[in-house]
Chain A
Amino acid sequence: MRTFVPQLVQRGREPRWLAPLLVVVAVALVYVATAAPIRAAGANPAAAYERYVFTPLTSTSSLTEVLLAATPILFTGLAVAVAFRSGYYNIGAEGQFLAGAVGASFAGLYLPDLPGPLAVPVALLLGAAAGVAWALLPALLRVNFRIDEVVTTLLLNPVALLGVQGLLNGPWRNTGSGFPVTDDFGAGYEMPPAAPGARVHLGLVIAVVIAVVIWVVLARTATGLRVRAVGLSPAAAGFSGVGVNRVLFGSALVSGGIAGLGGASQVLGVGQQLTNEVSGGYGYTGIVVATLGALSAVGVVLVALLLGDITVGAQNASLVLQLPPQMGDIIAASLLLAVVSVLVLRRYKFRLRPGRFTGEQAS
């Protein structure tokens, strides 16, 4: 008896239209998969998606919200992309973001009288330094003792959150209200607007500049080629004279610095005080942003904007349609999994072959 089963067979050269088509397939999959829970929550999926994707783009004020929401995940997305590009799996952007927020808050609380033109740069610098510091231990352990950075960076995330909570419940507790939030920073610590009169702050501009720098470095410089070589094949890069440990260490610290800068930009740009909710998972979302953006600077910018759009849409939908805002996170996570899954198919094509199904790919 002959049975025919569908099998994945490696294809030679992929057609150009394939990747975009597959992304469309992934989006459709996400839509289908999320339709049921949206219905269960009593809303119409089509209407909900209109809120998620299009409504935020229809007014200037909500567009501003989108850019504000995209700013922190643009930082963490770039941070993660820089590390992943060199093959250093920094999953600790969350902790480094929090450390950066604490660093900036330190300036804001203890140097309140610094004048405006000096205050913000000092706070940003302290934030970046704190992010680097939080990334230092895992990087040292990885480079010197080959201890897996995935585990150490992950474990430092809850520690960073506990650190923030400890500060807010202890020495940094609000002297007026007694709530676990810091006092307001000195007057000079408000992040300047991106453009005169805009609500979007300078953080977005800084993040975009970083994205451009990353793009240029990766595409055009020797350092960039070294980073790519290490990320693609550390053994071959080392053989070819690239200092693998130096590249890993460097990109780990740069990654931590960018994440820390993001945390600093967030406390300075929104509210000028440190709260427990300063991050709310931006570091983890950064992994989604970086991966969906194919670890390229341009991709990261686009995906950060898209997820910022969906975040604002989700808040909107929770007010108007009573859809819990966590649907935004569900969409982001399922989009990530759907896209990486279907993109695997780029290298394969379906074919019917005789035999029994083993669940493995033959090629």
Chain B
Amino acid sequence: MELAYLALVGAMLTIATPLVLAALGELICERAGLLNLGIEGTMYAGAFGGFLVAIESGSAWTGLVAALGIGLLAGLFVGMLAIGLGVNQHVAGIGTTLLLIACCDFINRLKYGAGSVPKVEKFQQLFADIPLASQYLLTYLTFLVIAPVVFVVLRSTGFGLRLRAVGENPEAADAAGVSVAATRYAAMAVGGMLMAAGGAFLTLAILGSFTLNITNGRGWVCIALVIFARWRVVAAVLGGLLFAFVDALQLQLVITPEFSGVPREVMIALPYVVVIGALALSGRNLTYPGAYLQPYRRS
């Protein structure tokens, strides 16, 4: 029982890693005033691109670096539409997601046909023999380095100050000599990299391969987590852990005899429903970042 409990928490941390990475990416974008609905496509592209490069180069690390590059470009692309041109952010994000997923599936079909996709030499877990501690290096990095760094950068650096200022009141930031566009592009670039890293974790760490529809709405979950967290870093990490806990729990329950009567799909849907429920309970009368969804132009 003790062991099952540790396994559950261990699985939770693994499952939470991509969610926390992508949710932090989205949080950075939204704190700068941009809703990045390209998140689902960026995760998908990170998953597929990272996988493809890992196969070709034989190194999962190279794959991860490639995914970061893809995320950077995806973030800047949505940024170009939403910041540079001032396109409606819903349309820019959804359009980018559709485009990226279609491109990945196109290349996948071209490369592997309709048949099966090869396996990749995936990341190894550290401390493989210790129950809770046997995690991927990227999981350690996410919780012990990346999340704290995002927290500190947003709170106590000039960059974080500028980023929050352009998200709350771009006119004020502009008048203070801060370049609104440059700051927002930077947020989109960093945010995109984190999203793609989250996607790459799915193929390069958890699965070791690529399947169609691999992200399965995880990007949308991350957007819900950011709102649930009210744009706070610590709460976003906790929200990611909550979703992952329910997901890990359902994975355990599916193999538990007492729950064999419950359809698997109901179990898989459970975390989504929990997130909607959490949003319904906590999401009332929120204060969004002041310039959320607002393109900025000097008038």
- Interface window among A15-23, A145-153, A191-199: A145-153
- Interface window among A48-56, A256-264, A328-336: A328-336
A245 at the interface (CB under 8 A from B): no
Closest-CB distance, A136 to chain B (whole angstroms): 13
Instruction: Closest A residue to B100 by CB, please name it.
Output: A333
Are A159 and B182 in contact, CB atoms less than 8 angstroms apart? no
B83 CB contacts on chain A under 8 angstroms: 359-360
- Interface window among A164-172, A182-190, A207-215, A216-224: A164-172
- Interface window among B49-57, B88-96, B138-146, B196-204: B88-96
Are B283 and A344 in contact, CB atoms less than 8 angstroms apart? no
- Interface window among A58-66, A102-110, A116-124, A283-291: A283-291
Q: A166-B266, A330-B103 are in contact. Are A340 and B91 (CB under 8 A)?
A: yes
Within 8 A of A (CB), among B178-226: 179-182, 185, 216-217, 220-221, 223-224
Are B185 and A359 in contact, CB atoms less than 8 angstroms apart? yes
A326 to B106, CA, bound (A): 5
- Interface window among B14-22, B64-72, B271-279: B271-279
B1 at the interface (CB under 8 A from A): no
A290 to B196, CA, bound (A): 29
B156 at the interface (CB under 8 A from A): no
Closest-CB distance, A225 to chain B (whole angstroms): 22
A41 CB contacts on chain B under 8 angstroms: 106, 110
A162 at the interface (CB under 8 A from B): yes
B115 at the interface (CB under 8 A from A): no
A155 CB contacts on chain B under 8 angstroms: 217, 220-221, 224, 272, 275-276
Within 8 A of A (CB), among B265-299: 265-266, 268-269, 272-273, 275-276, 279-280, 283-286, 296-299
Closest-CB distance, A252 to chain B (whole angstroms): 15
A47 at the interface (CB under 8 A from B): no
B279 CB contacts on chain A under 8 angstroms: 141, 147, 151-152
User: Knowing that A152-B224, A332-B98, A337-B99 are A-B contacts, what are 8 other residue pairs whose CB atoms are under 8 Å apart, sorted by A's residue number?
Assistant: A41-B110, A89-B90, A152-B279, A155-B224, A155-B275, A158-B217, A166-B264, A336-B95
Can you give 7 contacting A-B residue pairs, CB < 8 Å? Answer: A151-B227, A155-B275, A166-B264, A330-B99, A332-B102, A360-B179, A363-B298
